[in-house]
Amino acid sequence: MYKYILAIFFILLLFSCKEEKPKTILKNEVKKVIPPKPVYDLITDKNVVERLTKYGKQNPETVVDIYTTKGKIRIKLFKDTPLHRANFILLTKSGYFKHALFSRVAKKFMAQFGGSYDDLQRNIQDTIGSFTIPSEMSHHHFHKKGALAAARSYNNNPDKRSSSDEFYMVEGQKFSDLTLDHYAYENKYTFTPAQRKYYKSNVGAAHIDGEHTVFGQIIEGYHVVPKLTNVPTDSQEWPTTDIYVDSVIIVK
C-alpha cells in the first residue's frame, strides 16, 4: 500500500514540473500584421482619356530605345497622339516590355510585339488595368517605312479603338496607283496626294491606313526591322524561334 502511495506522489510531482508559467511577449516579438494589398485605381475604357491625359502631362518623354533580340531601334513618339504616347511611356516605365515577345512577323509588312503572354506582362497589366485607347488616326501620320502603330481588335470595334499592349513596326513595300485605288475602295478610305506620292516611291503599309493609329516613327536602327521579319514562322506568323524585346528605355 505504501508503494502505491509513493508512486502516485512521484507522478503528481512529475506533471507539476512540466507545467510552464505564462510567457511574457516582448514588444519586438509581437507578430506583425501584413496589410492587405492596395486597391489600384485601374485604368478602364471609361476613365482612359482622363487618366492618360493626366499621365502624359506628368511624363512628357518622346524618345525611346527598343532593345530587341536582333538589335536596337530608336523611336520618336508623336506629341499629337497624346493618349497613345502616354500609354507607351506608362508601359515602358512600368517595366512591361522586359522580355515581351514578338508574336507576329511578316516579311515586307511588319513586326508586332507586346501582349500578355507570360506572368510578368500579366502581373504588370493587373496593376494598370484592362482598357482600349480611342483612335488618334490622321492623314498626317500614316504607315510609312519604320512607323510605330497600335494593333487592335477587328471584332465589335466600330470606333477602331487601339489595344493598350500590342504594337507593331512597319517594314512595308511599294504601292502603285492601281493598288492604292483598290485599298481606297475596299477600306472606304481616301489617300491624300502626299500619301500617294510617298507610297509610289517608298515602302510602307498603305493597305492598313485608316485602320490603325500610327503614333511614332523609327529615327535610328530601321535596319533591325527586316531582321525581325525575315525569320521562319508558323502558320500564324509566330516566329518558330522566339524573338524578344529585351527592354524599352526612355531616352528623353
Domain with 110, as residue range(s), is 2-250
Could you report the per-residue pLDDT of 71-105, keeping only the tens digit for each? Answer: 999 999 999 999 999 999 999 999 999 999 999 99
Q: Look at the block and give the residue holding cell 506608362.
A: 90
Q: What is the pLDDT of residue 27?
A: 36
The CA distance from 111 to 204, in Å, is 13
Q: What is the pLDDT of residue 1?
A: 53
Look over the chain and give the mean of its residue pLDDT values, rounded to a whole number: 88
Instruction: Check pLDDT > 80 for residue 252.
Output: yes
Q: What is the pLDDT of residue 11?
A: 45
Could you report the per-residue pLDDT of 142-160, keeping only the tens digit for each? Answer: 999 999 999 999 999 999 9
Q: How many domains does the chain have?
A: 1
Q: Look at the block and give the residue holding cell 485605381.
A: 41
The CA distance from 158 to 27, in Å, is 62
The CA distance from 194 to 220, in Å, is 23
* Mean pLDDT, range 180-204, rounded to an integer: 97
Confidence of residue 31 (pLDDT cuts 50, 70, 90): very low
* Mean pLDDT, range 32-41, rounded to an integer: 49
Confidence of residue 24 (pLDDT cuts 50, 70, 90): very low
Confidence of residue 23 (pLDDT cuts 50, 70, 90): very low
* Mean pLDDT, range 56-67, rounded to an integer: 98
210: left (phi over 0), alpha (psi -120 to 50) or beta: left
| DSSP type of residue 163 | E
Instruction: Check pLDDT > 60 for residue 29.
Output: no
The CA distance from 45 to 131, in Å, is 5
Q: Give pairs for 112-118: CB < 8 Å, separation 24+.
A: 112/151, 112/166, 112/167, 112/168, 113/68, 113/166, 113/167, 113/168, 113/245, 114/151, 114/163, 114/165, 114/166, 114/167, 114/245, 115/165, 115/166, 116/165
* Mean pLDDT, range 32-54, rounded to an integer: 76
Q: Which of 247, 224, 250 is nearest to 99 (CA)?
A: 247
Q: What would the grid cell of residue 142 be?
A: 500614316
Q: Supply the DSSP string of 42-105, one letter for each residue.
A: ---TTTHHHHHHHHHHH----EEEEEETTEEEEEEEPTTSHHHHHHHHHHHHHTTTTTEEEEEE
Contact 65, 74 (CB under 8 A): yes
| CATH code: domain of residue 220 | 2.40.100.10
Q: What is the pLDDT of residue 40?
A: 53
Q: What is the pLDDT of residue 120?
A: 85
31: left (phi over 0), alpha (psi -120 to 50) or beta: beta
* Mean pLDDT, range 57-68, rounded to an integer: 98
Q: Which of 86, 92, 6, 93 is nearest to 54 (CA)?
A: 86
The CA distance from 136 to 160, in Å, is 9
Instruction: Check pLDDT > 60 for residue 28.
Output: no
Instruction: Check pLDDT > 90 for residue 190.
Output: yes
* Mean pLDDT, range 170-188, rounded to an integer: 97
